[in-house]
A and B are shown apart, each in its own frame.
Chain A
Amino acid sequence: QQQVKQSPQSLIVQKGGIPIINCAYENTAFDYFPWYQQFPGKGPALLIAIRPDVSEKKEGRFTISFNKSAKQFSLHIMDSQPGDSATYFCAASYLTYSGRYQLTFGKGTKLSVIP
């Protein structure tokens, strides 16, 4: 059972466009929602993260929108650039019974920004 559903699987936009990647979850115990960016041949790197007590967080050209009642969150990339071409993973974590935060990932979205 996939706990974090991510869409679309792939996305192609023109330079300057605003790609939007969506994620949905079921487990209401999730309390931390990071996005990771992965370039080919590299490991995922934390891009931006949000907690459910806020509806939006912005860092530079990257914005997370969070809808707690709908259990959905999304990543928007403003003024996208070819250098943003990468695979993006949404994730969610919660505190387990053993006192550990367990990070659960979506399947990833491969973004291509065309010049």
Chain B
Amino acid sequence: EAGVTQFPSHSVIEKGQTVTLRCDPISGHDNLYWYRRVMGKEIKFLLHFVKESKQDESGMPNNRFLAERTGGTYSTLKVQPAELEDSGVYFCASGQDISNSPLHFGNGTRLTVT
């Protein structure tokens, strides 16, 4: 089974630019999560999709972040305009249901805003 795929693996952009991160979950996983880890800090929840619907976006830092999940398949996370504090590693994870079944993480996108 293919794992969770994230693209790009690295992105370096200047402050004020726009970046779009993509996540392809494991096929059949209705639940898709976005997390972020700032260097040295904990991995923090950003939002949760169930199929194409946003179930919980309480972790989104501000309205510069926009997440979508087209047709309940892949998801994108857009940051516009990017700020220095947005730098970090963005992880996507998918799971089969909303219980404590294991989350499968992608390898992350390392975003650097200069």
Contacts and interface: CB of A to CB of B under 8 A. Distances in A.
A32 interface: yes
A114 interface: no
Chain A interface extent, by class: 20 to 34
Contacts of A46: 102-103
Contacts of B55: 98, 100
Contacts of A99: 98
B91 A43 contact: yes
B98 A108 contact: no
A12 interface: no
Interface string B96-114: 0011101101111000000
Contacts of A102: 45, 56
Interface of A: 2, 4, 6, 9, 32, 34, 36, 41-46, 49, 89, 93, 96, 98-108
B103 A103 contact: yes
Interface string B25-69: 000000000010000111111001000000110000000000000
A105 B44 contact: yes
Given A43-B93, A93-B100, A102-B56, 6 more contacts: A42-B107, A44-B91, A49-B100, A100-B48, A101-B98, A103-B103
B93 to A, nearest CB: 8
Contact of B56 (A32, A42, A98): A98
A45 B105 contact: yes
A105 B43 contact: yes
A100 B102 contact: no
Given A42-B107, A46-B103, A103-B103, A108 B56 contact: no
